[in-house]
């Protein structure tokens, strides 16, 4: 039986497709909520990072710096293990939440650097003009700087989201049933006894998600760039 | 309207750009600040609305203090200090003691000492009586920048209405009405819904001026408003500024346009090396300059 025949067998098999879709659900669930958590965390950390050098901000700044350094400096798999088997090593604690928190925290560290760069890329004159009109620092940041920063960071954030979606494929290491795990089970000896075919189909699923995401990001970017010439 | 008292500004890299500047801008006056590049004229203007925070000295808007209290500028504060009392006890004359304290910067360590209660109380009194929040002060001072600094993410209309509505000074409708009137005034009402990136430099700067006017300020600060413009667009911006001056707006203008300064300004301040070298009416400054540096500067730019 050649490769294409096997693909045909797989995608017409209700049981196998059901398994893949179940895995896809988990992958999407973790990705979406981890991405949201990462964006919120990343934005907070970025804002702390660029805030002024007042004494009250010293400790938060140090914490944020440590966070980014440690998370970016250690393997994701290890962070996931620590989260699952040390921090949330509670019987019956939902694994989905463990994974969302682990990936969200990981993503936040990368996102914060992207957002920080984005905020710094906005001309200081924009902030000065806002402040000179009597707006306070927060309003200026929210109404003027961040909207322009977002536009600049969207490509980088898009990259991060894409990486995140694919990185969730390691959740089987803590015994979760995601898209990759589904493909592995289908490929095991008591099923199709070949990994190549289910893995290829799963790859197509990932490709489709990433393609849709890329499309959505392009749309959003185009909308945000309404005020630009380029 | 604005009093600048003994402003000293040292940047983080240790360069002192203003070395003790005093000046007074009266209501309705148009003051032009001129001087070679790097002389500190933009820094002085930016100190007036605290976009640049002076290291020493005070800035007053009418009766309101914008900066922290500078103890050296208040005799009653110096007199309340222990240093002063010590000098008097040593038999020194009062005015001489003040002079000595000012000259030798003797109040420095007083801020942290526990003894200086009376001294601290005097500072606090002045602060409580006069200090106002900088954001409130800035609402009364419009500022126009060299590089326009229109908000790129907002349409022209939104640029004009953002501050009045965000600060809850106007409702949306009122702000839009005012904005429309201002845009009509500069003949750009058809640009209300476009983004700044589609405008020419002259149009951007005129919109930046009316954006400041939308706040109905008491005073307008201009930081080299025509320096970034193509030559053929300088005229339209200067014309608008002339109109404003004609209407009695108080204006402070940092400029390289000597012809404009001569024609429109009531007073000209010449800054060089961080201090005011000469000030006077345009006739005095251009007709009969006394300072050697001013003569040299004018011979180069005129």
Q: What is the distance in angstroms between the Cα of A178 and the nearest Cα belonging to chain B?
A: 41
Q: Which domains does chain A have, with CATH numbers?
A: 3-225 (1.10.3720.10)
Query: Is A133 close to B145, i.e. CB distance below 8 A?
Result: no
Q: What is the distance in angstroms between the Cα of B123 and the nearest Cα belonging to chain A?
A: 23
Tokens of A34: 């981890």
Interval B14-26 mean pLDDT:
91
Name which of A126, A143, A228 is nearest B197 (Cβ-Cβ): A228
Interval B48-54 mean pLDDT:
92
* Per-residue pLDDT band at B112 (split at 50, 70, 90): low
Query: Is B145 close to A125, i.e. CB distance below 8 A?
Result: yes
pLDDT per position as a tens digit, A11-29: 888 888 999 999 999 999 9
Q: Please indicate whether residue A45 or residue B120 has the higher confidence score (pLDDT).
A: A45
- Determine contact: A191 vs chain B, CB below 8 A: no
Structure confidence at residue A227 (pLDDT): 63
Structure confidence at residue B201 (pLDDT): 92
Name which of A126, A226, A228 is nearest B151 (Cβ-Cβ): A126
- Among all chains, which residue has been given the structure tokens 């070395």? B19
Q: Which residues of A touch B195 (CB under 8 A)?
A: 226-228
Name which of A129, A136, A144 is nearest B145 (Cβ-Cβ): A129
pLDDT per position as a tens digit, A27-82: 999 999 999 999 999 989 998 988 777 788 889 999 999 999 999 999 999 999 99
* A102-106, B87-91, B130-134: least confidently modelled range: B87-91
ipTM, interface predicted TM-score of the complex: 0.88
* Residue positions counted in chain A: 230
Q: Which residues of B touch A229 (CB under 8 A)?
A: 197-198
Compute the mean pLDDT over every residue in chain B, rounded to the nearest whole number: 90
Interval B85-105 mean pLDDT:
82
Q: Please indicate whether residue A229 or residue A105 has the higher confidence score (pLDDT).
A: A105
Q: In a 3-state reduction of DSSP, which class is residue B275?
A: strand
List of residues 6+ apart from A216 with CB closer than 8 A:
none
CA B278 vs. chain centroid, Å, equals 18
* Per-residue pLDDT band at B147 (split at 50, 70, 90): very high
Percent of chain B with pLDDT over 70: 97
Which backbone phi and psi does A194 adopt, to 5 degrees?
-155, 125
- Closest residue in B to A122 (Cα) is B152
pLDDT per position as a tens digit, A102-158: 999 999 999 999 999 999 999 999 999 999 999 998 899 889 998 888 888 899 999
Q: Which residues of B touch A (CB under 8 A)?
A: 49, 51, 135-139, 141-143, 145, 147, 149-155, 162-163, 166-167, 195-198, 208, 211-212, 215
Query: Is B149 close to A135, i.e. CB distance below 8 A?
Result: no
Interval B89-105 mean pLDDT:
81
Q: Which residues of B touch A132 (CB under 8 A)?
A: 49, 51, 138, 141-143, 145, 212
Structure confidence at residue B115 (pLDDT): 62
Q: Which residues of A touch B139 (CB under 8 A)?
A: 133-134
List of residues 6+ apart from A210 with CB closer than 8 A:
A162, A165, A166
Structure confidence at residue B113 (pLDDT): 61
Q: Which residues of A touch B198 (CB under 8 A)?
A: 229
pLDDT per position as a tens digit, B253-288: 999 989 999 999 999 999 999 999 999 999 999 999
Percent of chain B with pLDDT over 90: 68
Query: Is A125 close to B149, i.e. CB distance below 8 A?
Result: yes
Q: In sequence order, which ranges of A122-195 are alpha helices (DSSP H)?
A: 124-132, 137-140, 146-167, 179-187
- Determine contact: A134 vs chain B, CB below 8 A: yes
Interval B67-94 mean pLDDT:
83
Q: Per-residue pLDDT for A94 more than 60?
A: yes
pLDDT per position as a tens digit, B232-244: 899 999 999 999 9
A positions 97-126 inside 8 Å of B (CB): 123, 125-126
CA distance B238 to B233: 9
Q: Which residues of A touch B51 (CB under 8 A)?
A: 128, 131-132
Query: Is A135 close to B166, i.e. CB distance below 8 A?
Result: yes
Interval B132-146 mean pLDDT:
93
Q: Please indicate whether residue A156 or residue A189 has the higher confidence score (pLDDT).
A: A156
Query: Is A132 close to B215, i.e. CB distance below 8 A?
Result: no
* Per-residue pLDDT band at B109 (split at 50, 70, 90): low
- Determine contact: A139 vs chain B, CB below 8 A: yes
- Closest residue in A to B215 (Cα) is A133
Structure confidence at residue A89 (pLDDT): 85
Q: Which residues of A touch B152 (CB under 8 A)?
A: 126, 148, 227-228
Give the residue among B62, B223, B200, B204 at the shortest CA–CA distance from B142: B223
CA distance A197 to A192: 9
Any bridge partners for residue B30, and if so which? B251
Any bridge partners for residue B24, and if so which? B3
Give the residue among B241, B42, B260 at the shortest CA–CA distance from B268: B260
* Per-residue pLDDT band at B135 (split at 50, 70, 90): very high
Q: Per-residue pLDDT for A230 more than 80?
A: no
CA distance B20 to B10: 11
DSSP character string of B128-157: HHHB--HHHHHHTEEEE-TT----TTS-HH
């Amino acid at each position: 039986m050649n490769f294409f025949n096997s693909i045909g067998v797989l995608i017409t098999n209700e049981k196998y497709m059901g398994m893949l879709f179940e895995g896809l659900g988990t992958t999407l669930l973790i990705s979406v909520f981890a991405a949201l958590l990462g964006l919120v965390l990343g934005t907070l950390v970025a804002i702390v990072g660029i805030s002024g050098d007042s004494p009250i901000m010293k400790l938060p700044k140090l914490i944020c710096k440590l966070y980014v350094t440690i998370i970016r400096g250690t393997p994701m798999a290890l962070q996931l293990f620590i989260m699952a088997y040390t921090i949330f090593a509670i019987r019956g604690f939902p694994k989905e939440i463990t994974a969302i928190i682990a990936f969200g925290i990981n993503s936040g560290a990368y996102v914060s650097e992207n957002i920080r760069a984005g905020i710094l890329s906005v001309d200081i004159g924009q902030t000065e003009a806002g402040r000179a009109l009597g707006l306070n620092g927060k309003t200026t940041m929210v109404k003027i700087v961040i909207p322009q920063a977002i536009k600049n960071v969207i490509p980088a954030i898009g990259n991060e989201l894409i990486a995140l979606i694919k990185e969730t494929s390691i959740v089987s290491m803590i015994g979760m049933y995601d898209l990759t795990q589904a493909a592995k089970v289908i490929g095991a000896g008591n099923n199709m006894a070949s990994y190549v075919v289910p893995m290829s189909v799963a790859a197509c699923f990932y490709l489709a998600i990433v393609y849709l995401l890329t499309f959505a990001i392009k749309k959003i970017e185009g909308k945000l760039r309404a005020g630009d010439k380029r | 309207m604005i009093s600048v008292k003994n402003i000293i500004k040292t940047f983080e890299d240790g360069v002192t750009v203003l070395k003790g500047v005093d000046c007074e801008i009266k209501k309705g006056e148009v003051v032009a600040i001129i001087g070679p590049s790097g002389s500190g004229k933009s820094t002085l203007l930016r100190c007036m609305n605290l976009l640049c925070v002076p290291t020493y000295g005070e800035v007053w808007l009418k009766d309101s203090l914008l900066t922290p209290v500078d103890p050296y500028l208040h005799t009653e504060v110096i007199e309340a200090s222990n240093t002063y009392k010590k000098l008097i006890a040593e038999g020194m004359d009062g005015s001489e003691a003040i002079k000595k304290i000012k000259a030798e910067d003797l109040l420095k360590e007083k801020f942290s000492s526990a003894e200086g209660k009376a001294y601290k109380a005097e500072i606090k009194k002045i602060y409580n009586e006069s200090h106002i929040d900088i954001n409130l002060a800035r609402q009364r001072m419009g500022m126009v920048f060299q590089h326009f600094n229109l908000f790129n993410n907002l349409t022209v209309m939104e640029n004009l209405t953002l501050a009045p509505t965000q600060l809850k000074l106007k409702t949306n409708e009122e702000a839009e009405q005012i904005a429309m009137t201002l845009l009509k005034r500069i003949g750009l009402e058809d640009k209300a819904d476009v983004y700044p990136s589609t405008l020419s430099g002259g149009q951007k700067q005129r919109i930046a001026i009316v954006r400041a006017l939308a706040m109905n300020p008491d005073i307008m600060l201009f930081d080299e408003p025509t320096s970034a413009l193509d030559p053929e667009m300088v005229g339209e911006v200067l014309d608008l500024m002339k109109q404003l001056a004609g209407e009695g707006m108080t204006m402070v203008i940092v400029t390289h346009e000597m012809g404009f300064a001569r024609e429109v300004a009531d007073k000209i301040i010449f800054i060089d090396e961080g201090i005011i070298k000469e000030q006077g009416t345009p006739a005095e400054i251009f007709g009969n300059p006394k300072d050697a540096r001013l003569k040299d500067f004018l011979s180069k730019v005129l």
